[in-house]
Amino acid sequence: MRKRGRLRGGSTCGAEAMGIKINDITQGDCVKLLEGLDEPIADLIFADPPFNIGYKYDVYEDRKAYDEYHAWTERWMRACVERALKRTGSMWVAIGDEYAAEVKLIGDKLGLHLRNWVIWHYTFGQNTRKKFARSHAHLFYWVRDPAAFTFNDKAVRVFSDRQREYHDRRASRAGKIPDDSWWEFPRVCGTFDERVQFHPCQMPESVLSRIIRASSSCGDVVFDPFAGSGTTLAAAKRLGRDWAGTELSAEYVRGARRRLQEVEPLAATGAPAWTEPHVRELQWLYAEAGVRTDLLYEHPHLLESFTDMFNWRLANAGVDDRYGPQDVWDRLETLRKEARLARIRVHAAEPTTGPPRTLREPLFATIRAER
Protein backbone atom coordinates (compact mmCIF):
# COMPACT_ATOMS: atom_id res chain seq x y z
CA MET A 1 0.00 0.00 0.00
CA ARG A 2 1.46 3.33 -1.02
CA LYS A 3 -0.22 6.26 0.72
CA ARG A 4 -0.89 9.43 -1.23
CA GLY A 5 1.46 12.38 -1.40
CA ARG A 6 4.63 10.44 -0.83
CA LEU A 7 7.85 12.14 -1.95
CA ARG A 8 10.54 10.05 -3.56
CA GLY A 9 13.76 9.61 -1.64
CA GLY A 10 17.18 8.62 -2.88
CA SER A 11 18.16 11.95 -4.37
CA THR A 12 20.98 12.29 -1.85
CA CYS A 13 22.67 9.09 -3.08
CA GLY A 14 26.44 9.45 -2.80
CA ALA A 15 26.15 12.97 -1.42
CA GLU A 16 27.31 14.33 1.90
CA ALA A 17 24.55 15.89 3.98
CA MET A 18 26.15 18.44 6.31
CA GLY A 19 28.59 16.08 7.97
CA ILE A 20 26.43 12.92 7.84
CA LYS A 21 27.63 10.96 4.86
CA ILE A 22 25.24 8.96 2.73
CA ASN A 23 26.28 5.34 2.10
CA ASP A 24 28.83 5.59 4.90
CA ILE A 25 29.00 5.65 8.70
CA THR A 26 29.98 8.93 10.27
CA GLN A 27 31.93 8.65 13.50
CA GLY A 28 30.73 10.99 16.25
CA ASP A 29 27.91 11.93 18.60
CA CYS A 30 24.60 11.51 16.77
CA VAL A 31 22.99 14.45 18.54
CA LYS A 32 25.67 16.92 17.43
CA LEU A 33 25.76 15.52 13.92
CA LEU A 34 21.98 15.58 13.60
CA GLU A 35 21.73 19.10 14.99
CA GLY A 36 24.11 20.16 12.21
CA LEU A 37 21.73 19.04 9.45
CA ASP A 38 19.81 21.74 7.67
CA GLU A 39 17.58 19.54 5.63
CA PRO A 40 16.04 16.14 6.31
CA ILE A 41 17.83 13.16 4.81
CA ALA A 42 15.90 10.10 5.99
CA ASP A 43 12.86 8.28 4.64
CA LEU A 44 13.24 5.77 7.46
CA ILE A 45 15.05 6.03 10.78
CA PHE A 46 15.74 2.95 12.87
CA ALA A 47 17.30 3.61 16.28
CA ASP A 48 18.50 1.00 18.76
CA PRO A 49 20.03 3.17 21.49
CA PRO A 50 21.92 1.89 24.52
CA PHE A 51 19.15 0.76 26.95
CA ASN A 52 20.84 2.19 30.11
CA ILE A 53 21.16 -1.25 31.65
CA GLY A 54 24.93 -1.41 32.12
CA TYR A 55 25.98 -3.00 28.83
CA LYS A 56 29.72 -3.00 28.15
CA TYR A 57 30.39 -0.78 25.15
CA ASP A 58 33.91 0.36 24.35
CA VAL A 59 33.44 4.13 24.79
CA TYR A 60 29.82 4.73 25.83
CA GLU A 61 28.98 4.41 29.55
CA ASP A 62 25.62 2.59 29.72
CA ARG A 63 24.64 3.39 33.30
CA LYS A 64 23.36 6.95 33.64
CA ALA A 65 21.11 8.58 36.25
CA TYR A 66 17.43 8.38 35.29
CA ASP A 67 17.03 12.13 34.60
CA GLU A 68 20.18 12.30 32.50
CA TYR A 69 19.22 9.30 30.33
CA HIS A 70 15.63 10.53 29.99
CA ALA A 71 16.74 14.02 28.90
CA TRP A 72 19.27 12.55 26.46
CA THR A 73 16.61 10.24 24.99
CA GLU A 74 14.38 13.22 24.34
CA ARG A 75 17.28 15.11 22.78
CA TRP A 76 18.31 12.45 20.29
CA MET A 77 14.71 11.58 19.40
CA ARG A 78 13.93 15.28 18.83
CA ALA A 79 17.06 15.67 16.68
CA CYS A 80 16.03 12.62 14.61
CA VAL A 81 12.48 13.84 14.08
CA GLU A 82 13.10 17.55 13.62
CA ARG A 83 16.39 17.47 11.71
CA ALA A 84 16.66 14.16 9.85
CA LEU A 85 13.20 12.69 9.15
CA LYS A 86 11.43 13.65 5.94
CA ARG A 87 7.78 14.73 6.12
CA THR A 88 6.70 11.38 4.67
CA GLY A 89 9.16 9.40 6.78
CA SER A 90 8.81 6.63 9.37
CA MET A 91 10.73 6.14 12.58
CA TRP A 92 11.27 2.94 14.54
CA VAL A 93 12.90 2.73 17.98
CA ALA A 94 13.96 -0.42 19.84
CA ILE A 95 13.97 -0.17 23.64
CA GLY A 96 13.80 -2.38 26.74
CA ASP A 97 11.11 -2.46 29.43
CA GLU A 98 13.00 0.03 31.62
CA TYR A 99 12.37 3.04 29.34
CA ALA A 100 9.60 1.87 26.99
CA ALA A 101 6.97 4.07 28.68
CA GLU A 102 9.24 7.12 28.50
CA VAL A 103 10.02 6.54 24.82
CA LYS A 104 6.31 6.24 24.03
CA LEU A 105 5.57 9.56 25.78
CA ILE A 106 8.46 11.33 24.08
CA GLY A 107 7.13 10.12 20.71
CA ASP A 108 3.73 11.62 21.61
CA LYS A 109 5.36 14.89 22.69
CA LEU A 110 7.21 15.13 19.38
CA GLY A 111 3.93 14.82 17.48
CA LEU A 112 4.66 11.41 15.96
CA HIS A 113 1.81 9.09 15.05
CA LEU A 114 2.17 5.64 16.55
CA ARG A 115 1.25 2.93 14.02
CA ASN A 116 2.39 -0.12 15.98
CA TRP A 117 3.93 -0.97 19.33
CA VAL A 118 5.57 -4.24 18.29
CA ILE A 119 6.80 -6.79 20.79
CA TRP A 120 9.78 -8.70 19.49
CA HIS A 121 9.78 -11.99 21.38
CA TYR A 122 13.22 -13.49 20.93
CA THR A 123 14.40 -16.99 21.64
CA PHE A 124 17.83 -17.81 23.10
CA GLY A 125 17.37 -15.25 25.90
CA GLN A 126 19.39 -15.49 29.10
CA ASN A 127 18.46 -17.87 31.93
CA THR A 128 17.24 -16.47 35.24
CA ARG A 129 17.10 -18.02 38.70
CA LYS A 130 14.44 -16.05 40.59
CA LYS A 131 12.07 -14.55 38.05
CA PHE A 132 10.69 -15.15 34.59
CA ALA A 133 13.34 -14.70 31.93
CA ARG A 134 13.22 -11.58 29.78
CA SER A 135 12.53 -12.58 26.20
CA HIS A 136 11.25 -9.48 24.47
CA ALA A 137 12.10 -5.97 23.38
CA HIS A 138 9.78 -3.14 22.32
CA LEU A 139 9.79 -1.80 18.78
CA PHE A 140 7.93 1.49 18.37
CA TYR A 141 6.80 2.34 14.87
CA TRP A 142 5.73 5.93 14.14
CA VAL A 143 5.14 8.08 11.09
CA ARG A 144 5.29 11.85 10.87
CA ASP A 145 2.22 12.21 8.69
CA PRO A 146 -0.58 9.65 9.14
CA ALA A 147 -1.84 10.42 5.62
CA ALA A 148 1.47 10.15 3.74
CA PHE A 149 3.90 7.36 4.45
CA THR A 150 5.26 4.18 2.90
CA PHE A 151 3.93 0.79 3.95
CA ASN A 152 4.78 -2.03 1.54
CA ASP A 153 2.43 -4.71 2.80
CA LYS A 154 3.25 -7.27 0.08
CA ALA A 155 6.93 -7.24 0.96
CA VAL A 156 6.26 -8.54 4.49
CA ARG A 157 3.34 -10.92 4.01
CA VAL A 158 3.29 -14.38 5.59
CA PHE A 159 0.79 -17.24 5.62
CA SER A 160 -2.49 -16.58 7.40
CA ASP A 161 -3.51 -18.96 10.20
CA ARG A 162 -6.19 -20.29 7.86
CA GLN A 163 -3.49 -21.22 5.34
CA ARG A 164 -1.00 -22.40 7.95
CA GLU A 165 -3.28 -24.50 10.11
CA TYR A 166 -5.98 -25.72 7.73
CA HIS A 167 -4.28 -25.39 4.33
CA ASP A 168 -7.58 -23.93 3.24
CA ARG A 169 -7.75 -23.11 -0.48
CA ARG A 170 -10.36 -20.44 0.18
CA ALA A 171 -7.90 -18.36 2.20
CA SER A 172 -6.45 -15.34 0.43
CA ARG A 173 -3.48 -16.45 -1.67
CA ALA A 174 -1.73 -13.20 -0.68
CA GLY A 175 -1.43 -14.35 2.93
CA LYS A 176 -1.53 -11.68 5.63
CA ILE A 177 0.47 -8.87 7.17
CA PRO A 178 2.26 -10.27 10.26
CA ASP A 179 0.88 -9.60 13.74
CA ASP A 180 2.44 -7.00 16.02
CA SER A 181 4.15 -9.62 18.17
CA TRP A 182 7.14 -11.06 16.36
CA TRP A 183 8.29 -14.47 17.47
CA GLU A 184 10.15 -15.66 14.35
CA PHE A 185 13.48 -13.98 15.02
CA PRO A 186 15.98 -15.38 17.53
CA ARG A 187 18.55 -13.13 19.20
CA VAL A 188 21.94 -13.21 17.49
CA CYS A 189 23.84 -15.61 19.77
CA GLY A 190 27.60 -15.92 19.99
CA THR A 191 27.60 -19.11 17.94
CA PHE A 192 25.53 -17.80 15.01
CA ASP A 193 27.26 -17.32 11.63
CA GLU A 194 25.78 -13.83 11.47
CA ARG A 195 27.52 -12.79 14.69
CA VAL A 196 30.25 -10.15 14.36
CA GLN A 197 33.05 -10.35 16.89
CA PHE A 198 33.63 -6.66 17.51
CA HIS A 199 30.31 -5.51 19.02
CA PRO A 200 28.47 -6.70 22.17
CA CYS A 201 24.84 -6.40 21.09
CA GLN A 202 23.83 -6.99 17.54
CA MET A 203 20.28 -6.98 16.20
CA PRO A 204 19.34 -9.74 13.73
CA GLU A 205 19.41 -8.62 10.13
CA SER A 206 16.10 -10.43 9.53
CA VAL A 207 14.26 -8.10 11.95
CA LEU A 208 15.74 -5.04 10.27
CA SER A 209 14.89 -6.42 6.85
CA ARG A 210 11.21 -6.72 7.75
CA ILE A 211 11.18 -3.13 9.02
CA ILE A 212 13.05 -1.75 6.01
CA ARG A 213 10.98 -3.66 3.45
CA ALA A 214 7.75 -2.41 5.04
CA SER A 215 8.69 1.19 5.75
CA SER A 216 10.86 2.22 2.80
CA SER A 217 11.31 1.60 -0.90
CA CYS A 218 14.24 0.95 -3.15
CA GLY A 219 16.43 4.06 -3.41
CA ASP A 220 15.11 5.63 -0.17
CA VAL A 221 17.56 6.68 2.55
CA VAL A 222 17.62 4.60 5.76
CA PHE A 223 19.35 6.27 8.71
CA ASP A 224 20.55 4.70 11.98
CA PRO A 225 21.88 7.10 14.64
CA PHE A 226 23.36 4.23 16.73
CA ALA A 227 24.90 2.18 13.96
CA GLY A 228 26.81 -0.22 16.25
CA SER A 229 27.85 -3.25 14.23
CA GLY A 230 26.05 -1.87 11.16
CA THR A 231 23.04 -4.23 11.10
CA THR A 232 20.49 -1.66 9.88
CA LEU A 233 22.84 -0.40 7.22
CA ALA A 234 23.76 -3.89 6.03
CA ALA A 235 20.07 -4.76 5.67
CA ALA A 236 19.39 -1.47 3.88
CA LYS A 237 22.24 -2.02 1.43
CA ARG A 238 21.12 -5.60 0.76
CA LEU A 239 17.63 -4.28 -0.01
CA GLY A 240 18.80 -1.60 -2.43
CA ARG A 241 18.29 1.42 -0.18
CA ASP A 242 20.74 4.24 0.36
CA TRP A 243 21.91 4.24 3.94
CA ALA A 244 23.62 6.41 6.52
CA GLY A 245 24.66 5.93 10.11
CA THR A 246 26.36 7.67 12.98
CA GLU A 247 28.31 5.86 15.69
CA LEU A 248 30.31 7.16 18.67
CA SER A 249 32.97 4.46 18.67
CA ALA A 250 35.73 4.64 16.07
CA GLU A 251 36.39 0.92 16.52
CA TYR A 252 32.75 -0.02 15.84
CA VAL A 253 32.76 2.27 12.80
CA ARG A 254 35.78 0.42 11.41
CA GLY A 255 34.18 -2.98 12.03
CA ALA A 256 30.82 -1.95 10.59
CA ARG A 257 32.45 -0.50 7.48
CA ARG A 258 34.23 -3.82 6.92
CA ARG A 259 30.90 -5.61 7.33
CA LEU A 260 29.21 -3.26 4.87
CA GLN A 261 31.87 -3.84 2.23
CA GLU A 262 30.94 -7.53 2.17
CA VAL A 263 27.23 -6.92 1.60
CA GLU A 264 25.92 -7.69 -1.86
CA PRO A 265 22.56 -6.15 -2.82
CA LEU A 266 19.78 -8.56 -3.80
CA ALA A 267 19.42 -6.72 -7.10
CA ALA A 268 23.04 -7.34 -8.07
CA THR A 269 21.67 -10.36 -9.97
CA GLY A 270 18.31 -11.25 -11.47
CA ALA A 271 16.33 -14.37 -10.78
CA PRO A 272 16.75 -17.29 -10.66
CA ALA A 273 20.35 -16.81 -9.55
CA TRP A 274 20.40 -18.24 -6.02
CA THR A 275 23.22 -16.00 -4.93
CA GLU A 276 23.86 -15.80 -1.19
CA PRO A 277 21.49 -12.80 -0.69
CA HIS A 278 18.69 -14.57 -2.57
CA VAL A 279 19.19 -17.76 -0.56
CA ARG A 280 19.24 -15.83 2.69
CA GLU A 281 16.00 -14.05 1.79
CA LEU A 282 14.43 -17.45 1.06
CA GLN A 283 15.59 -18.80 4.44
CA TRP A 284 14.10 -15.79 6.20
CA LEU A 285 10.78 -16.07 4.38
CA TYR A 286 10.64 -19.76 5.25
CA ALA A 287 11.20 -18.99 8.95
CA GLU A 288 8.61 -16.20 8.94
CA ALA A 289 5.92 -17.76 6.75
CA GLY A 290 5.45 -20.67 9.13
CA VAL A 291 4.64 -23.66 6.88
CA ARG A 292 6.91 -26.68 6.70
CA THR A 293 8.37 -27.95 3.41
CA ASP A 294 6.37 -31.21 3.48
CA LEU A 295 3.14 -29.19 3.57
CA LEU A 296 4.31 -26.92 0.76
CA TYR A 297 4.90 -30.06 -1.26
CA GLU A 298 1.55 -31.62 -0.40
CA HIS A 299 -0.40 -28.42 -1.10
CA PRO A 300 0.70 -26.79 -4.39
CA HIS A 301 -1.50 -23.74 -3.73
CA LEU A 302 0.60 -23.05 -0.62
CA LEU A 303 3.81 -23.33 -2.64
CA GLU A 304 2.39 -20.89 -5.21
CA SER A 305 1.48 -18.49 -2.47
CA PHE A 306 4.93 -18.84 -0.89
CA THR A 307 6.54 -18.17 -4.29
CA ASP A 308 4.49 -14.99 -4.69
CA MET A 309 5.62 -13.80 -1.25
CA PHE A 310 9.23 -14.48 -2.18
CA ASN A 311 8.97 -12.65 -5.50
CA TRP A 312 7.30 -9.65 -3.83
CA ARG A 313 10.22 -9.43 -1.42
CA LEU A 314 12.72 -9.48 -4.25
CA ALA A 315 10.75 -6.93 -6.27
CA ASN A 316 10.79 -4.67 -3.21
CA ALA A 317 14.59 -4.84 -3.39
CA GLY A 318 14.71 -4.00 -7.08
CA VAL A 319 14.89 -7.53 -8.59
CA ASP A 320 12.69 -7.50 -11.69
CA ASP A 321 12.75 -11.20 -12.64
CA ARG A 322 10.64 -13.80 -10.88
CA TYR A 323 11.33 -17.26 -9.53
CA GLY A 324 8.91 -20.06 -10.39
CA PRO A 325 7.40 -22.46 -7.82
CA GLN A 326 9.62 -25.29 -9.05
CA ASP A 327 12.80 -23.16 -8.60
CA VAL A 328 11.69 -22.28 -5.10
CA TRP A 329 10.76 -25.83 -4.23
CA ASP A 330 14.07 -27.25 -5.50
CA ARG A 331 16.08 -24.72 -3.49
CA LEU A 332 14.03 -25.34 -0.34
CA GLU A 333 14.67 -29.06 -0.69
CA THR A 334 18.41 -28.49 -1.05
CA LEU A 335 18.43 -26.26 2.02
CA ARG A 336 16.36 -28.75 4.00
CA LYS A 337 18.76 -31.59 3.17
CA GLU A 338 21.68 -29.38 4.23
CA ALA A 339 19.85 -28.58 7.51
CA ARG A 340 19.85 -24.88 6.60
CA LEU A 341 16.14 -24.21 7.15
CA ALA A 342 14.76 -22.92 10.45
CA ARG A 343 12.58 -25.17 12.55
CA ILE A 344 8.99 -24.06 12.22
CA ARG A 345 7.58 -23.40 15.67
CA VAL A 346 3.92 -23.55 16.55
CA HIS A 347 3.57 -20.58 18.86
CA ALA A 348 0.13 -21.08 20.34
CA ALA A 349 -1.90 -23.98 21.61
CA GLU A 350 -4.32 -25.50 19.16
CA PRO A 351 -8.01 -24.83 19.82
CA THR A 352 -9.82 -27.66 21.56
CA THR A 353 -12.87 -27.18 19.38
CA GLY A 354 -12.97 -26.35 15.72
CA PRO A 355 -12.57 -28.15 12.47
CA PRO A 356 -12.53 -31.92 12.28
CA ARG A 357 -9.31 -33.61 13.33
CA THR A 358 -8.52 -34.55 9.77
CA LEU A 359 -8.14 -30.88 8.92
CA ARG A 360 -5.81 -30.21 11.79
CA GLU A 361 -2.05 -30.49 11.45
CA PRO A 362 -0.48 -30.88 13.95
CA LEU A 363 -3.35 -32.44 15.94
CA PHE A 364 -2.66 -31.41 19.49
CA ALA A 365 -1.37 -28.43 21.37
CA THR A 366 2.33 -28.62 20.87
CA ILE A 367 5.31 -26.43 21.44
CA ARG A 368 7.51 -27.44 18.56
CA ALA A 369 6.61 -29.10 15.31
CA GLU A 370 9.60 -30.76 13.77
CA ARG A 371 9.84 -33.01 10.79
Ligand X SMILES: C[S@@+](CC[C@H](N)C(=O)[O-])C[C@H]1O[C@@H](n2cnc3c(N)ncnc32)[C@H](O)[C@@H]1O
Q: How far is the CB of 59 from ligand X (least distance, A)?
A: 6
157 vs 187 by CB, closer to ligand X: 187
Q: Count of residues for the chain?
A: 371
Q: How far is the CB of 246 from ligand X (least distance, A)?
A: 5
Q: Residue 11 carries which DSSP code?
A: T
Angle subtended at Cα 46 by Cα 215 and Cα 196, rounded to the nearest 5 degrees: 115
Q: Which of 203, 76, 81 is nearest to 139 (CA)?
A: 203
Residue type, position 100, single letter: A
47 vs 271 by CB, closer to ligand X: 47
35 vs 361 by CB, closer to ligand X: 35
Binding residues for ligand X (CB under 6 A): 29-31, 48-50, 57, 60, 199, 201-203, 225-226, 228-229, 231, 246-249, 252
Distances (CA, A) of 127 to 55, 130, 131, 347: 17, 10, 9, 20
Distances (CA, A) of 339 to 9, 29, 118, 297, 347: 40, 43, 30, 17, 21
Q: How far is the CB of 24 from ligand X (least distance, A)?
A: 14
Q: How far is the CB of 122 from ligand X (least distance, A)?
A: 13
280 vs 299 by CB, closer to ligand X: 280
Q: How far is the CB of 208 from ligand X (least distance, A)?
A: 8
Q: Residue 368 carries which DSSP code?
A: B
Q: How far is the CB of 49 from ligand X (least distance, A)?
A: 6
48 vs 281 by CB, closer to ligand X: 48
Task: Report whether 61 contacts 108 (CB < 8 A).
Answer: no
257 vs 336 by CB, closer to ligand X: 257
Q: How far is CA 313 from its chain centroid?
A: 13
Burial (Cβ within 10 Å: 0-12, 13-18, ≥19) of residue 8: exposed
